[in-house]
A = this chain, B = another copy of it.
Amino acid sequence: MSYKEIDPLRVPVKIDELVEQAYKELKPFFEPESIAVIGASRDEWSIGWVVFKNLAENYKNKKLKARIYGVNVKGGELFGYKLYKSIMDIPDSIDHAVIVVPAKFVLDVVEECGKKGVKALTIISAGFSEIGNTELENKVIETARKYGMRIIGPNCLGVFDNFGGVDTLFTPEFKKYYDQMLLTSPRPKPGVIMFGSQSGALGLAILDALYGADIGIAKFVSYGNKADVDETDLLLWSLKDPYVDVIMLYIEGIKKAGRLFVEVAKEVSKKKPIVVLKGGRTQAGARAAESHTGSLAGDYKMYIAAFKKIGAVVVETLDEFIDTVKAFSTQPPARGYNLAIITDGGGAGLLAADAAEKYGLIVNPPSDELLARLKDGVNRGYIVPFATFANPIDITGSATDESFVYALEAVLDDKNTDSVMIIGLHHVPGVTDQLPKKLVEVIEEKDTNKPVAFCTVGGADYAVRFRKSFEEAGIPTYPTPERAALVLKNLADYGSWLASLGLYESYIKEWKERQKLRKSSESH
């Protein structure tokens, strides 16, 4: 029996066992020893052509270790590979089959895959429950179950894995724009995010946005109709995956096994943040969700309550989705809600304070101790005398890199500060290209587990490059104070939830261990 059939009301969830089982069952999707594309096609830019091409290229570049095979009823050859007329003809065992043939042929193909001993099926083909053809979908599932195969899809984009090299995204990377070919469906760089999306098209669009924001991901899974593999599976996988620190889910509805999802999410949340964007939150949205994926979007308030109880970070917009996973990719969660704002621009600091308070952060005036230390910074010449310390700590347009260093050291040492927003408007003459490096040195030396976000406003060259320098140094950046504030609030929500369960320290410890492990494996 698959763990997916467990009723957590009757059988208590043993998370470790589930994780082990999921890891075993899903491994062929991400780390197959062999992979076959059924419907590999010689028609340029067809789905079967693109999928086979991507896999062949990844194999050639040694990103993909799996042996690859193409299957096409017409036979022939593609990119130097022989195309087999049936999967049965392949003189090798197959772990993962990617199916791109028309829906009417899928059931037969699945049966053959079962006989062949395939373990994992990615069914990209559309034409199932999403157009009312639930009967066919159910038959496909039954057949897969009979042979113990797991399914991603149907009606999906499948898997993009930055580490294992599996890539079934069938959209061409480039597209014609007048006389140029422009990057239209980019793959983000390697990173620590597992991204699961119920919508394939929106998933692709978000990958495009992640790429634009230079945010890395470990894996992307588009599970389409989620006839089998769904969010719960990805959570179980992510819990163990040493490459994953953050889970990012776009959900329209939790159709089946909602209880298992909740039980699993509750456990996963204790170790890794789950950031959720839920489509179908309003009447109009719910109506749209039903037309889109046949999901009953349900009562959003009920969802929110359930999500928040299990420590999930629920976001409201695409910007917040992307901004938040960026922060979680490099920053620890905040132990509480007390925010210190350091700024070289009074107006920007003011907007930051407004937004932070509105979102639920606490922007208190500094304690006597912190105030004394800041004033000492004035006496010692680090900060100008007309700076104001109301929080925002406004070190003014006369600030230098050293003013920022001094103020950051002070708030990191302050026991009443849980997180820090640094607004370093680059227009200020004393702010230089050395600031990112200097601030990172302070953060690393202090090692306080207080998250830091950086903001400068602007869209011309200097602003863009300056933000990039901070990103490269591991500090998430935002183009407005409000966006930085919202992200810091999300880090505080999650950190407070962990702390309320007494799990904050263990979370930090494990997170750092994974970071260390990855660093050491990179250097080998």
Q: Footprint of B on A, CB under 8 Å?
A: 131, 171, 175-178, 182-186, 197-199, 201-206, 208-213, 250, 252, 277, 279-285, 287-293, 316-319, 344-351, 353-358, 363, 365, 386, 388, 390-392, 394, 397, 425-429, 432-433, 456-466, 479-483
B contact residues around A208 at 8 Å (CB): 427, 457-460, 463
A51 CB → nearest B CB, Å: 15
Nearest-neighbor residue (CB-CB) of A215 within chain B: B459
Assuming A213-B459, A390-B287, is B177 touching A354 (CB within 8 A)? Answer: no
List residues of chain B with CB within 8 A of the CB of A209.
457-459, 479
- Asked if A282 contacts B353 (CB within 8 A), the reply is yes
Report yes or no: B292 in contact with A349, Cβ–Cβ below 8 A. yes
Q: A293 contacts which of B203, B316, B346, B354 (Cβ < 8 Å)?
A: B346
How far in angstroms is the closest Cβ of chain B from A136? 16
Asked whether, in the complex, the Cβ of B348 is within 8 Å of the Cβ of A202, the reply is yes
21 A–B contacts, CB within 8 A, in A order: A131-B386, A178-B433, A182-B462, A184-B463, A202-B348, A202-B457, A203-B347, A205-B425, A208-B458, A209-B459, A210-B459, A211-B458, A212-B463, A283-B357, A284-B353, A284-B356, A288-B346, A288-B353, A292-B350, A292-B394, A319-B483
Instruction: Identify which of B171, B211, B347, B459 contacts A459 (C-beta below 8 A).
Output: B211
Say whether A201 contacts B285, CB under 8 Å: no
When all copies of this chain in the complex are counted, the total is: 2
Residues from chain B with Cβ under 8 Å of A198 in the complex: 347
Known: A184-B462, A292-B347, A318-B480. A354 touches B284 (CB 8 A): yes
A325 to B357, alpha carbons, bound, how many Å?
26
Q: 13 new A-B pairs (CB below 8 Å) besides A208-B427, A279-B347?
A: A177-B466, A183-B462, A184-B461, A197-B347, A202-B351, A282-B353, A285-B351, A287-B391, A290-B390, A292-B346, A293-B346, A317-B480, A319-B479
Contacts of A197 in B (CB 8 A): 347
Judging by beta carbons under 8 Å apart, are A201 and B458 in contact?
A: no
**Residues in B neighbouring A317, C-beta threshold 8 A:** 351, 355, 480, 482-483
Bound-complex Cα distance A429 to B175 (A): 8
Q: How far is the CB of A171 from chain B (nearest CB, A)?
A: 6
How distant is the Cα of A365 from the Cα of B288 in the complex, in angstroms? Answer: 10
Using known A-B contacts A183-B460, A459-B209, determine if residue A394 contacts B433 with beta carbons closer than 8 Å. Answer: no
Beta-carbon nearest neighbor of A456 in chain B: B205
**In the assembled complex, which residues on chain B have CB atoms less than 8 Å from the CB atom of A347?**
197-199, 201-203, 250, 252, 279, 292
Q: Are A357 and B292 in contact (CB under 8 A)?
A: no
